[in-house]
């Protein structure tokens, strides 16, 4: 047994990368527990394993006390007895006695087997956790395995099972066994039952990673994807930017004759892609985000810096809002602004109906009126009212 155990330790260290000292420590604790359980031992004992020779020993530990202070013979030894063993002992010293049973080998072998199996299991779990932690927020291709009321189960490379919640499943897709799908690893948990890997088909970062695979300029950072707003399976808006003044960032993602964006659209089952340019000018960025609608004006709310009113031509209103408000909703998510869209005719009518507030000195128009009109009014002389 001794030789086989040493060889097992060598294999664990070399092949599995398990620290030898960690296994020896666990083995010694297991031997100690096994001894106490088998022999109903109340005394203080230590288990020692020599990982070179494979020899195991159990030693009882007793503390030297003055003769009159001896209370527990299982854990204490009188000074008189201790001096018989060695005249150098003093109160407080520890003396170890070998109490290894003759039949301890069988019990030790069983304990060693349990420890090694447990350490191998722990090491395997940790290796899986570490591996997929490195894959977090990255794309990986898996195979649909099965589905129940809670999850879709996807087999990843290395025979590792991952789970996909209903919220992470594309509403436009029907998954069949053995379908190969690209998923985003969005969470890895190290639970008591082992690593649990969560994957997604709906995460916005899936779109980003797909473009990285298709567009070299995105992969190398020449073109940056600044923001993504997504309603998975239906439509996504993507804001892109580049420091390279000679490069069209939108054109880079679209590709020649739309080849690059079409690859992403195909992978996502026909999900529409609106690619717009991110610019530092917030008004222009908001206008870009409402593509394909034309924007006449963007008016910021002085009372709320994250709220704007966007004016569009009358014939562009439905296009700007989009089906069931989708275009406006995605534009708001993309830019981080609350967007209120009005047609030009509506905006003009509101300006005309805006109330006039009179004071003793001047006439002040409501903020809804065009600033140019306000300026003209301020230049018009006022007269004092008659008594």
57 vs 208, which has greater pLDDT?
208
User: If pLDDT is split at 50, 70 and 90, which confidence band does 385 have?
Assistant: very low
Neighbours of 31 (CB within 10 A): 25
Lowest mean pLDDT among 46-55, 99-108, 350-359: 350-359
pTM assigned to the model: 0.69
Report yes or no: 238 and 277 within 8 Å, Cβ to Cβ: no
Tokens matching residue 66? 């003055």
Across 146-168, average pLDDT: 93
Domains in the chain, ordered, with CATH?
A: 2-131 (3.30.1480.10), 136-200 (2.40.50.140), 203-278 (3.30.300.20)
Among residues 115, 6, 108, 113, the alpha carbon closest in space to that of 57 is found at 108
Strands, sheet with 272-277, edge to edge from the N-terminal-most edge strand: 223-231, 235-242, 272-277
The residues, ordered by sequence, that sit 6+ positions from 46 with a Cβ below 8 Å of its Cβ are 28, 32, 58, 59, 61, 96
Strand 338-343 to strand 304-312: parallel, antiparallel, or no bridges (unpaired)? parallel
CA distance 156 to 47: 43
205 vs 101, which has greater pLDDT?
205
Residue-level pLDDT at 354: 54
Residue-level pLDDT at 52: 79
The length of the chain is 387
The answer on pLDDT for 361 being more than 60 is no
Burial class (CB in 10 A: 0-12, 13-18, 19+), 356: exposed
Across 219-235, average pLDDT: 96
The residues, ordered by sequence, that sit 6+ positions from 53 with a Cβ below 8 Å of its Cβ are 2, 6
63 vs 127, which has greater pLDDT?
63
Across 109-131, average pLDDT: 80
Tens digits of residue pLDDT in 97-118: 988 888 777 777 777 778 878 8
User: If pLDDT is split at 50, 70 and 90, which confidence band does 92 have?
Assistant: very high
Report yes or no: 274 and 236 within 8 Å, Cβ to Cβ: yes
CA distance 29 to 16: 22
The residues, ordered by sequence, that sit 6+ positions from 113 with a Cβ below 8 Å of its Cβ are none
The answer on pLDDT for 365 being more than 60 is no
Lowest mean pLDDT among 12-26, 170-184, 350-364: 350-364
The answer on pLDDT for 301 being more than 60 is yes
């Amino acid at each position: 047994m001794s030789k086989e155990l040493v060889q097992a330790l060598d294999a664990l260290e070399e092949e599995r990368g398990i620290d030898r000292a960690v296994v020896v420590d666990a083995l010694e604790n297991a031997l100690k527990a096994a001894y106490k359980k088998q022999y109903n031992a109340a005394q203080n004992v230590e288990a020692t394993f020599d990982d070179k020779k494979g020899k195991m020993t159990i030693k009882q530990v007793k503390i030297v006390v003055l003769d009159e202070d001896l209370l527990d013979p299982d854990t204490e030894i009188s000074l008189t007895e201790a001096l018989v063993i060695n005249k150098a002992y003093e109160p407080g010293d520890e003396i170890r006695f070998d109490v290894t049973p003759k039949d301890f080998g069988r019990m030790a072998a069983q304990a060693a087997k349990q420890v090694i199996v447990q350490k191998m299991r722990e090491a395997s779990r940790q290796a899986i956790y570490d591996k997929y932690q490195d894959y977090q927020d990255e794309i990986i291709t898996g195979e649909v395995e099965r589905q129940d009321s809670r999850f879709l189960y996807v087999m990843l490379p290395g025979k590792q099972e991952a789970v996909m919640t209903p919220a992470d499943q594309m509403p436009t897709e029907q998954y069949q066994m053995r379908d190969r799908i690209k998923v985003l690893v969005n969470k890895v948990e190290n639970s008591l039952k082992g690593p649990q890997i969560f994957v997604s088909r709906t995460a916005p970062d899936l779109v980003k990673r797909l473009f990285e695979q298709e567009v070299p300029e995105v992969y190398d950072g020449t073109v940056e994807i600044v923001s993504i707003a997504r309603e998975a399976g239906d439509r996504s808006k993507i804001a892109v930017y580049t420091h390279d003044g000679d490069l069209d960032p939108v054109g880079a993602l679209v590709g020649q004759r739309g080849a690059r964006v079409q690859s992403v659209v195909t992978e996502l089952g026909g999900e529409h892609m609106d690619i717009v340019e991110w610019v530092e000018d917030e008004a222009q960025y908001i206008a870009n985000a409402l593509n394909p609608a034309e924007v006449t004006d963007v008016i910021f709310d002085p009372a709320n810096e994250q709220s704007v009113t966007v004016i569009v031509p009358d014939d562009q209103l439905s296009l700007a809002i989009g089906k069931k408000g989708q275009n406006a909703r995605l534009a708001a998510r993309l830019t981080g602004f609350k967007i209120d869209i009005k047609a030009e005719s509506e905006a003009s009518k509101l300006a005309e109906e805006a109330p006039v507030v009179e004071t003793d000195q001047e006439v002040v128009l409501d903020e809804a009126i065009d600033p140019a009109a306000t300026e003209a009014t301020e230049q018009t002389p006022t007269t004092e009212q008659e008594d």
